[in-house]
Amino acid sequence: MQRNWSPVKFESEAIPQWPEGLPSTLVHSVYASGSPIPGLSSSDSDVASANLRGSIEVYRYSPDDPVTLNRDWYPIITFAPSDSMLLVRGPISDSDH
């Protein structure tokens, strides 16, 4: 969180378990970034308002698409002023591919 949105690549055991539904042969890389900047907000159809603290991006091979890699964006949010409980939402939009 102190890297001011500079991405960090997750490797091996550092990769979160929740994207394990993707076949490992399709996953190219997983990155995270974030910052404790107050006042950044996030909302979508299920969450009216939350504090945006960071994001996780999963890059995956897309053999059936005209592009080589697709990017799935997962915002990291919290509802309280403290970061005692972080939630990950998404993927948010197919336009990120």
> What pLDDT digit, counting tens, does each position of 59-94 carry?
989 888 888 898 888 888 887 766 677 888 776 665
Task: Report the number of secondary-structure helices (H) and strands (E) in the chain.
Answer: 0, 6
Strands 27-34 and 41-42: unpaired
> What pLDDT digit, counting tens, does each position of 37-57 carry?
777 777 666 676 778 888 899
Predicted pLDDT of residue 46? 66
Predicted pLDDT of residue 97? 46
Predicted pLDDT of residue 82? 65
pTM of the full structure: 0.75
DSSP 10-23: E-GGGS-SGGGGS-
**Is the pLDDT confidence value at 34 over 60?**
yes
